[in-house]
Chains A and B, each alone.
Chain A
Amino acid sequence: MEQNLLLAYLLLTPIIGSVLVLFFKQEQKQLIRWFGLGISLIAFVISLVVYFGFDQTNSQFQFIHQVIWIKSLNISYRVGVDGISLLLVLLTTFLTPLTLLSTWKAIEKNVRMFTFSMLFLEVGMLGVFISLDIFLFYIFWEAMLIPMYFIIGIWGGERRIYAAVKFFIFTMFGSLLMLVAIIWLAVYASSLVGHFTTNLIELYKVGPTIPHDIQSWMFGAFFLSFAIKVPLFPLHTWLPDAHVEAPTAGSVILAGVLLKMGTYGLVRFCLPLFPQSSVQFAPIISILAVIGIIYGALVSMVQTDMKKLVAYSSVSHLGFVVLGIFAMTVESVQGAVIQMVNHGLSTGALFLLVGVLYERTHHREISFYGGIARLVPLYSTVLMIAMLSSIGLPGLNGFIGEFLILIGSFKSSVLNSWWFTIFAASGVIFAAVYLLWMYQRVVFGEVKNEELKHELTDMNLREMIMMVPILVFIVWIGVYPSTFLKLTEVSTQSILQQVGTFTGNLLK
């Protein structure tokens, strides 16, 4: 097989960067920041090279690179991308430099270790998206926990220890059950193909042949692990804690990329490996997703803390993504994938913007603010765009994803009921309510708080540099989504075809 080293370079860049950063002196804060930013930009450039070399009409995995790793267990370092994973790789490499830029002022304590953790985290996230060996995937999935745990625990807010430990244990619980399922799958495969294997492409053929009752358990183990990560209602309780306590950069990465690992896992593993069970459980899961949409929105509405509000809105938005995935139509799954990116951009932007305010005033309560439009017009404009994108205003990115998901779920033969769509659509309205209301209370009106007049300054050049790229993509996806939809089209079709083949062509 032809080897393409591009993905190896992509993965190696942050690895080497994270090792090198340890050789800096603790005092050289500014140098370390620039270094981390440089490394993450190199990774971004490499991912762009991957993008431009990617054949969008090919449904196979591309840029495959394979090295035998653990021969005794037939495990290989096997990586490659299809349209879906490429899009998420791009999201990761795009958001990482921006979040590093956001920490310029916010992180003063132990900058070296922070940069190390962020780069290490990037390795884990990229690894999750490009692994084509389920064991390798698991390694990255788990290894990524450690840097995130440190980011929340060291640089977080008051209840950071509680949040970090909760985050760690919740995720660990799900993933260890997945580990048992992975081993079971590999052992089962050894009876079928003759050798112990964790190669995803081989397992795509093995998974659907698992007897039905066992397949349900396997599906359950994988699904639980991903659902905790997404997080799907009612497994979401770690999320608000982690989001609120994490530093801004941690929240952005958590919302922007980490949650997508869960939904990505559903698309990449649950659907094609266990198609029969996926179809069987789709209605139940969709009900949970719709509950999540409405619940997340309602809880957001009553929040007094801006960060918590954005955190709960994630539960709502990710509900859309899960609904889209389990509606299993081409539109809805494509919508779900694009919605993953949208949520990464718009929620990432909202977290960054809350962080900008917090850096200046050290307050996140909505009631503390009011009338800041006069004080910081530029900031208010940017916040407006990010908020409208999150609501799903036509012309901005959020609309595209939600619209596709709603259309897809409406005509889905798996769900076979338009009640899902009706309830889900109400989530869009709720989103408008809680976000516009928050915006109104923070930005408009009179300046009630005298403190604000002294403390609040408008966004500086660094902050604009970090926001403008996100805004560009928010508009780009909203106006011309084809660039991104074309990327995922063939890959989505091939996954749904796999599901369709084994479930009696239920899907069209």
Chain B
Amino acid sequence: MSPSLVRRGNKRGWSKINPDLKIGAKKHKIMPQNNYEYFLLMPQIIIGIGIVLSVIIEISTKKSEQILPWFSIAVFFATAFYSVFNINQNSVLFGGMIEVGGKPAIFNFIFNIGAALVVLSSMDYLKKYGTYFGEYYILIQSSVLGMMVMSGAKDIIMIFMGLELMSICFYVLAGINRKKLSANEASLKYFLLGAFTTGFIVYGIALIYGATGTTSIQNLEENFVGYSSNIIFILGMILFLIGFSFKIATVPFHMWVPDVYQGSATTVTSLMSTTGKAAAFSVLIIILSAVFSSNAPNVFSPYFATISALSMLFGSIVAISQNNLKRMLAYSSIAHAGYMAIGLAAGNVFSVAGIIFYLAAYAFMNIGAFTVISIVEGDNDSRTDLNSFAGLNAKSPVLAATMALFMFALAGIPPLAGFFGKYYVFIAAIQSKLTWLAILGVLSSVISVYFYIRVVVYMYFKDATEDFKINVSPYSLTAVVITALLILVFGILPDTLMNVITSALK
């Protein structure tokens, strides 16, 4: 990065945090500006310290696998709530490198709460899965740190750093049980395609830098219209967007999704498919911030409209023929990425709020669904088929009821959170005169209803075909109940979440 850029950013950063600085200065009279910036960066620092402490715990005690989950949950909650309580302290730190408060804060909240729920559901699952050791939690914490760097990035280099931190943790997490063939396959596939994707992204960054002479997002936002006529810039952007289209799992860059989601540990899948997707979307929102603040025409709208339409239809249609629930949810994840991409294609102020709401709702629905699967799942990847869910209502009414709730929410039946996610992006689409995309969206919703309610059919309308007992772990059940309640609350009172999001976007 050029030194001049750093200086330029510095000035801007100074002026932005100046009012707050006075308060800080009173308390710590001799504190220079840089230390105050560290103070604002607290969420990232909390989790960073958490990682270091986790490593120390892992080294020093033999009971680490019992301590670490609770420790990570504490870290995640601390980070989540610190972020949300300081949501109005929006400022850009370290010479225009990273943004705190505002939009990153709401994303941090989604990442951390999501990760905390995943950890909660992992505790007993890992024993069953055969990877009952502490590194798992350290890797989850590191990946969350990566996501937080991504969502706060104000420089393309920061985006890349965060992305790599997150992705590498995911590669390892996917194959965390090295004795399992499916997990190895998932990990290797994920890694190879991920590395390939990284190539796209780096090439894109190089072209963007070549065209603009800077990697600052701020600069990109201000001069987006001017750059838009530059073919090299557009090419770079498209490479960059393609790279992230891999990460959000949209057609035609979806090939890795089913195998990776099916092969990985169920809890890892629930982390990758929700928070990982949210992180990738946060980057797309950042890179297109000029479009969303309506400073620039949305030149990439056709691109997003295409991948969105393809993903919705492909995901929904292919999911119909899946018998494995994890694989079905993988295709449903592709479809949902398509719905969210409607918001990117619409590219107005409303759509950012819509996408974030959708991501939050999707995170809770999907984590809930995967947690139920992880409870029902047996040893060696068994019992993830639809057949294993037959007659679940008789075996465990609570699990069946919550799973039905998750399925209805994913299908977008009101008044559940998933419905409002769709509702918001459809509004954004119609405001941007993309009614055809909204119509495609509802049509694929109708298709998707079929496979979501098929799960309900098995749980409620059919009798059990396999005879097994379900050991409902209290921790996993807590995670399921929490997600179910959140879906109900955000569905019946969507303003509770929407108000936070809109206040963060101001």
Contacts and interface: CB of A to CB of B under 8 A. Distances in A.
A177 interface: yes
B499 A72 contact: yes
Interface in B486-506: 493-495, 498-499, 502
Interface stretch (A78-86, A140-148, A324-332, A344-352): A140-148
Contact of B449 (A71, A168, A180): A168
Contacts of A180: 426, 430, 435, 438-439, 442
A41 interface: no
Given A154-B460, A164-B461, A165-B450, A146 B408 contact: yes
Given A153-B461, A184-B430, A169 B435 contact: no
A72 B502 contact: yes
Interface string A121-149: 00000000000000000110011011001
A173 B499 contact: no
Given A142-B414, A153-B460, A160-B461, A179 B439 contact: no
A161 B456 CA distance: 10
A145 B413 contact: yes
Interface string B398-439: 000000000010000111000100010011001100010011
Interface residues of B, number: 32
B414 A165 contact: no
Contacts of B430: 180, 183-184, 187
Nearest to A162: B457
B74 interface: no
A6 interface: no
A70 B462 CA distance: 38
A61 B375 CA distance: 51
Contacts of A70: 494-495, 498
Contacts of A177: 439, 442
Contacts of A164: 457, 461
B442 A72 contact: no
B255 interface: no
A69 B423 CA distance: 15
A299 interface: no
B273 interface: no
B453 interface: yes
B415 A143 contact: yes
Contacts of A149: 453, 456
Contacts of A138: 414
Contacts of A139: 414-415
A176 B494 contact: no
B212 to A, nearest CB: 36
A145 B446 CA distance: 13
B445 interface: yes
B438 A169 contact: no
A150 interface: yes
B271 to A, nearest CB: 29
A10 B500 CA distance: 33
Interface in B160-176: none
B461 A154 contact: yes
Contact of A187 (B415, B427, B494, B498): B427
Contacts of B498: 70, 72
16 contacts: A139-B414, A142-B419, A143-B414, A146-B408, A149-B456, A161-B462, A164-B461, A165-B453, A168-B449, A169-B450, A172-B446, A176-B443, A176-B445, A180-B430, A183-B438, A184-B435
Interface of A: 69-73, 138-139, 142-143, 145-146, 149-150, 153-154, 160-161, 164-165, 168-169, 172-173, 176-177, 179-180, 183-184, 186-187
Interface of B: 408, 413-415, 419, 423, 426-427, 430-431, 435, 438-439, 442-443, 445-446, 449-450, 453-454, 456-457, 460-462, 493-495, 498-499, 502
Given A165-B453, A180-B435, 9 more contacts: A72-B498, A160-B461, A161-B457, A169-B446, A176-B442, A176-B446, A177-B442, A180-B438, A187-B427
